[in-house]
């Protein structure tokens, strides 16, 4: 009837999501997908991976297995990633057959090669550290054996491919650090005096709408270079926060201008320098460790937001309703085997503390076994609670003292 305000009923635009990877990110995506009425099929080489206990179907196989990737794609309405390390060439071929893969394999291919990622940022005017030079594996061996001299000291070396969770990066401050040189195809960039490391989570949907979460502050474990504590919102001036968000939006727009399907959640990791500049360090085209706190502290978690974006649903509110601090639960050095938590009672007795245990079958030094998020009316109070838990909670192996 003309002028009617009667609402039209709709079903979800998709029913089944395929996830490449079955780790903790896939598990948290799956938990939210279940609440939304979505089916999840995951691909992982480990039949006991974290997602295995809750997904609708697990395809066991390598993330580089063409047949397994095709099987996953054919069973899914849309395919996404929880880890970047997969066969982008195969995924591009699958995409050409009309199967929806988000973000696009071409975008993933660009980000997977950190040198190409770096050149992309520079070519689009995104502030980032200076690229010094590209080096082959053979050249790195010569540097490490002191047959060749490095361009300068200090500098940072990054492997072009395969790096994550602190691997694939080396800081070379002087000749005493030459043993740290990575023997792989890589590049050198300038060493930056950092005031803080920060990150911005950005979500973009199929309609081109873009939303960002509050800027977070990241503190890294100096032994492993893995995120140790996350503080949200970041303790930075508002003008710096707004500048960081604008740069993050520029990064997403650079993908759009390059005709890459930038749909989903992206983590833009940045450096706030001693001089007050903001430089983009790296980009993750997926849900990310820097957004785990959003499960408890924001109206829409990063996991729900990613699913909304790739499923063709409206983006949710990115507003943070409570200050939050997150600590990673990393395996203690020297412990291997079935994991055990020392200090579990302390977590459960702490007001505003939420434990997320990933369900990995074995622990190892600095392996991510879980995380704890603390929300509080006061950011300082949340930080204090997080520090106390960090001192008392340890991940060891069963049977160890």
Q: Which CA distances in Å does 363 have to 29, 335, 337, 356, 368?
A: 22, 7, 5, 15, 8
- pLDDT mean over 233-255: 98
The per-residue pLDDT for range 346-365, each reduced to its tens digit, is: 999 999 999 999 999 999 99
- CA gap 8, 31 in Å, rounded: 28
| In the predicted structure, residue 370 carries a pLDDT above the cut 90 | yes
CB 241 within 8 A of CB 108: no
**pLDDT over 60 (residue 373):** yes
Asked if residues 42 and 51 have their Cβ atoms less than 8 Å apart, the reply is yes
Taking residue 227's Cβ as centre, other Cβ atoms within 10 Å add up to 26
Q: Tell the burial category of 45 from Cβ atoms under 10 Å away from its Cβ (0-12, 13-18, 19+).
A: middle
Q: Looking at residue 37, what is its pLDDT?
A: 94
pLDDT at 107 > cutoff 70: yes
The Cα-based distances of 36 to 12, 30, 148, 309 in angstroms read 9, 10, 57, 13
Confidence band of 222 (pLDDT split at 50, 70, 90): confident
Give the per-residue pLDDT at 333.
94
Q: What is the pLDDT of residue 2?
A: 46
Integer-rounded Cα radius of gyration of the chain? 21
pLDDT band at 154 (very low <50, low <70, confident <90, very high): very high
Higher pLDDT, 47 or 164: 47
The Cα–Cα gap between 229 and 371 comes to 10
CB 334 within 8 A of CB 374: no
Please report the pLDDT score of residue 221 as a whole number. Answer: 79
Per-residue pLDDT band at 401 (split at 50, 70, 90): low
Which tokens in the block code for residue 304? Answer: 């729900």
Higher-scoring residue by pLDDT: 317, 145:
317
Residue pair 328/289 in contact by the 8 Å Cβ criterion: yes
Mean pLDDT, to the nearest integer, of 118-147?
Answer: 94
Q: In percent, how much of the chain has pLDDT > 90?
A: 88
DSSP per-residue letters across 207-262: T--EEEPPPEEEEE-TTT-SEEEEEES-SS-HHHHHHHHHHHHHHHHHHHHTT---
**What is the band of 165 on the pLDDT scale with cuts at 50, 70, 90?**
low
Q: What is the pLDDT of residue 5?
A: 55
Assess contact for 383 and 331: CB atoms under 8 A: no
pLDDT at 55: 98
The dihedral through the CA atoms of 73, 75, 77, 81 has a sign that is negative
The per-residue pLDDT for 144 is 87
Contacts of 364 (CB under 8 A, 6+ apart): 331, 335, 336
DSSP track, 252-296: HHHHHHTT----EEEEEEEEEETTS-EEEEEEESS--GGGTTHHH
Q: What is the pLDDT of residues 170-187, one digit of tens each?
A: 999 999 999 999 999 999
Nearest residue to 245 (alpha-carbon basis) of 289, 301, 202: 202
pLDDT tens readout for residues 382-398: 999 999 999 999 999 98
> Cα–Cα distance between 212 and 139 in angstroms, integer?
41
Task: List, for residues 206-218, the tens digit of each pLDDT value.
Answer: 999 999 999 999 9
Q: Given a cut of 70, is residue 7 above it in pLDDT?
A: no
> What is the per-residue pLDDT for 341?
96
The two beta strands, 353-357 and 368-375, are antiparallel
How much is the pLDDT for 1?
Answer: 41
Lowest average pLDDT, out of 160-164, 322-326, 362-366, goes to: 160-164
* Averaged confidence pLDDT in the chain: 94
């Amino acid at each position: 009837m003309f002028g009617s305000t009667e609402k039209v009923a709709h079903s979800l635009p998709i029913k089944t999501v395929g996830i490449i990877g079955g780790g903790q990110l896939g598990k948290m995506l799956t938990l939210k997908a279940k609440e939304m009425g979505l089916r999840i099929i995951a691909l992982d080489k480990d039949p006991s991976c974290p997602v295995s206990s809750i997904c609708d179907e697990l395809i066991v196989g390598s993330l580089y297995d063409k047949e397994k990737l095709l099987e996953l794609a054919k069973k899914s309405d849309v395919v996404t990633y929880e880890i970047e390390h997969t066969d982008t060439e195969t995924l591009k071929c699958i995409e050409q057959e009309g199967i929806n893969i988000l973000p696009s394999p071409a975008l993933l291919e660009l980000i997977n090669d950190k040198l190409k990622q770096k050149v992309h940022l520079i070519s689009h005017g995104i502030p980032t550290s200076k690229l010094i030079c590209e080096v082959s594996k053979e050249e790195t061996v010569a540097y490490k054996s002191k047959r060749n001299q490095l361009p300068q000291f200090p500098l940072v070396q990054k492997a072009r491919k395969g790096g994550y969770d602190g691997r694939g990066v080396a800081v070379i401050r002087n000749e005493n650090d030459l043993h740290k040189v990575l023997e792989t195809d890589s590049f050198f960039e300038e060493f930056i005096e950092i005031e803080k490391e920060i990150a911005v989570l950005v979500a973009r949907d199929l309609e081109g709408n873009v939303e960002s979460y509050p800027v977070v502050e990241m503190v890294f474990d100096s032994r492993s270079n893995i995120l140790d504590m996350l503080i949200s919102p970041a303790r930075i001036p508002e003008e710096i926060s707004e500048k960081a968000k604008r740069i993050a939006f520029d990064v997403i727009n650079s993908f759009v201008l390059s005709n890459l399907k930038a749909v989903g959640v992206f983590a833009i990791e940045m450096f706030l320098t001693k001089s007050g500049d903001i430089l983009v360090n790296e980009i993750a085209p997926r849900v990310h460790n820097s957004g785990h706190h959003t499960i408890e502290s924001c109206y829409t978690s990063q996991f729900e937001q990613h699913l909304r974006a790739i499923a063709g649903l409206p983006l949710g509110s990115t507003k943070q309703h409570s200050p939050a601090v997150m600590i990673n639960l990393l395996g203690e050095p020297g412990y291997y085997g079935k994991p055990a938590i020392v200090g579990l009672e302390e977590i459960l007795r702490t007001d505003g503390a939420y434990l997320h245990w990933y369900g990995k079958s074995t622990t190892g030094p600095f392996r991510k076994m879980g995380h704890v998020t603390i929300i509080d009316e006061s950011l300082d109070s949340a930080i204090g609670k997080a520090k106390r838990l960090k001192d008392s909670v340890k991940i060891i192996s069963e049977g160890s003292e």
